[in-house]
């Protein structure tokens, strides 16, 4: 049974915010189940339906847990608007974000709160390690921790080598003070990279500091699902608005030239290739050349355009079958409470 004692300064209330829309089975099986299974004793779970959603509302009505608070936006506005709405209605001192199709391990919030309370920053943004789960295999993320003097943009978007992996950070990892979440809402006009956008802007706010549990220390406290064959909440894979977004952050000094190049290669070029938008080659090529790319970045650009996506996918499958399995710990099964949009 959940702990019914009132929150204390050492164990403040955490508000979990889960945006969702018209996928009740996925919500109940993954996001909501793992939120209600948290070992941390003082939490509320705000499931924000992104517009009228009778099936999800009916499913939530069948969940017998006083910590659950269903909310509904008057119209479908996107996951960022749903997150902001949840923050505005949160009662907790802290807010943790979870996508409805992702899973937290039961100790995630307790481990993050321990780290938050040790932080020297007035406004700590607390991140955990996680597993990226695709139909082709699991990957432990991020591959390393951020160094003290490294900007967030460089940490997330610059590869250390041609074969290096990106240190991608996602919304499902975030636990932040509610005061910060209110001061810095998610940008509702964005349908892609809204979590990266939030973190880049948060880095500029006085008092904010990023605290991080490494994958090894945290034993991968979240499972982030991508690449599944179903509709997502991130909108179409149109790359033109995302290029404008990246240029905006570059001009504001939030993305270095190397980080801007990394974003082009990790996000925009694959989208253009996926859509068969070969007219975008000169536009993206000129944007990349403006960063004075190195040989590795030029080779990555050429690889995306030269190798069909189907061939790269087959290569990934082949490599995953020969890679040592990721250690998921003792709780990779579905949460015992079987009552995020991407």
- The residue that leads in pLDDT, 207 or 321, is 207
Percent of the chain with pLDDT over 70: 85
Range with the lowest mean pLDDT among 30-34, 289-293, 324-328?
Answer: 324-328
**Does residue 334 carry a pLDDT above 50?**
no
Q: 104-113, 159-168, 222-231: which has the highest mean pLDDT?
A: 104-113
Q: How many residues does the chain have?
A: 342
Percent of the chain with pLDDT over 90: 64
**How much is the mean pLDDT over the chain?**
87
Cα(299)–Cα(292) distance, integer angstroms: 13
Range with the lowest mean pLDDT among 153-157, 284-288, 294-298?
Answer: 294-298
Nearest alpha-carbon partner for 211 in 146, 154, 166: 146
In this structure, the strands spanning 103-104 and 222-225 are antiparallel
Alpha-carbon separation of residue 88 from 125, 178, 189, 215, 341 (angstroms): 18, 9, 18, 31, 19
Whole-model pTM above 0.95? no
- Burial code (b: 16+ CB inside 10 Å, e: under 16) for 159-183 equals beeeeeebbbbbbbbbbbbbebbee
Range with the lowest mean pLDDT among 86-95, 142-151, 282-291, 319-328?
Answer: 319-328
Pair 73, 81: CB distance under 8 Å: yes
Residue 281, classified by CB atoms within 10 Å of its CB into exposed (0-12), middle (13-18) or buried (19+), is: middle
Dihedrals φ, ψ of 319, to 5°? Answer: -65, -40
State the SS3 of 133-167. EECCEEEEECCCCCCCCCCHHHHHHCCCCCCCCCC
Q: Structure tokens of 322?
A: 């020969």
**Does residue 327 carry a pLDDT above 60?**
no
Residue extents of the structural domains in the chain: 14-225, 240-306
Say yes or no: domain 14-225 is CATH 3.20.20.70. Answer: no
Cα(221)–Cα(114) distance, integer angstroms: 14
pLDDT at 230: 63
- Count Cα atoms within 13 angstroms, Cβ side, for 249: 31
**Radius of gyration for the alpha carbons in the chain, expressed in angstroms and rounded:** 20
**Does residue 189 carry a pLDDT above 90?**
yes
**Does residue 331 carry a pLDDT above 50?**
no
Nearest alpha-carbon partner for 258 in 198, 214, 300, 211: 300
Alpha helices in 30-186 (DSSP H): 31-36, 54-61, 79-89, 108-118, 152-157, 178-183
Range with the lowest mean pLDDT among 16-20, 145-149, 165-169, 337-341?
Answer: 337-341
Tens of pLDDT, residue by residue over 109-147, are 999 999 999 999 999 999 999 999 988 788 899 998 999
Average pLDDT over residues 212-224: 79
pLDDT at 329: 45
Cα(2)–Cα(337) distance, integer angstroms: 12
Average pLDDT over residues 206-228: 84
**Does residue 319 carry a pLDDT above 70?**
no
**Does residue 229 carry a pLDDT above 80?**
no
Cα(323)–Cα(160) distance, integer angstroms: 21
**Does residue 67 carry a pLDDT above 80?**
yes
Angle at 325 between CA 321 and CA 331, to 5 degrees: 135
Q: 137-151, 193-207, 309-323: which has the highest mean pLDDT?
A: 193-207
Average pLDDT over residues 312-326: 61
With cut-offs at 50, 70 and 90, classify the pLDDT of residue 248.
Answer: very high
- The residue that leads in pLDDT, 40 or 271, is 40
- The residue that leads in pLDDT, 3 or 289, is 289
DSSP SS3 for 48: strand
Pair 63, 92: CB distance under 8 Å: no
With cut-offs at 50, 70 and 90, classify the pLDDT of residue 219.
Answer: low
Pair 98, 20: CB distance under 8 Å: no
Angle at 173 between CA 172 and CA 179, to 5 degrees: 95
With cut-offs at 50, 70 and 90, classify the pLDDT of residue 338.
Answer: very low
Alpha-carbon separation of residue 107 from 114, 204, 318 (angstroms): 11, 30, 33
Pair 153, 249: CB distance under 8 Å: yes
Pair 161, 296: CB distance under 8 Å: yes
Average pLDDT over residues 280-293: 91
């Amino acid at each position: 049974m959940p702990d019914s004692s009132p929150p204390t300064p050492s164990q403040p209330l955490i508000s979990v915010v889960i945006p969702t829309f018209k996928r009740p089975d996925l919500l109940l099986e993954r996001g909501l189940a793992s939120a209600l299974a948290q070992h941390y004793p003082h939490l509320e779970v705000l499931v924000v339906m992104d517009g009228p959603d009778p099936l999800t509302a009916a499913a939530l009505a069948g969940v017998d847990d006083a910590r659950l608070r269903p909310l509904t936006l008057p119209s479908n506005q996107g996951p960022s608007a749903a997150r902001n709405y949840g923050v505005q209605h949160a009662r907790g001192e802290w807010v943790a974000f979870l996508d409805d199709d992702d899973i937290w391990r039961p100790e995630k919030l307790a481990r993050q709160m321990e780290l938050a309370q040790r932080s020297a920053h007035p406004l700590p943004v607390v991140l955990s390690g996680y597993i990226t789960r695709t139909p082709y295999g699991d990957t432990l993320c991020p591959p390393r921790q951020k160094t003290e003097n490294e900007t967030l943009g460089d940490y997330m978007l610059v590869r250390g080598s041609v074969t290096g992996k990106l240190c991608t950070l996602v919304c499902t990892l975030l636990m932040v003070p509610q005061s910060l979440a209110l001061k810095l809402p998610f940008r509702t006009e964005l349908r892609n990279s809204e979590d990266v956008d939030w973190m880049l802007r948060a880095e500029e706010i006085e008092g904010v500091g990023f605290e991080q549990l490494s994958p090894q220390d945290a034993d991968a406290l979240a499972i982030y699902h991508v690449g599944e064959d179903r509709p997502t909440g991130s909108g179409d894979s149109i790359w033109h608005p995302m290029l404008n977004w990246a240029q905006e952050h570059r001009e504001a000094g939030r993305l270095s030239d190397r980080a801007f190049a990394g974003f082009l290669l990790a996000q925009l070029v694959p989208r253009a290739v996926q859509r068969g938008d070969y007219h975008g080659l000169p536009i993206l090529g000129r944007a990349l050349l403006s960063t004075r790319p190195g040989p590795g970045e030029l080779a990555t650009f050429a690889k995306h355009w030269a190798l069909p996506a189907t061939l790269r996918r087959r290569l990934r499958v082949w490599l995953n079958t020969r890679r040592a399995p990721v250690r998921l710990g003792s709780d990779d099964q579905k949460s015992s409470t079987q009552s995020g949009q991407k």
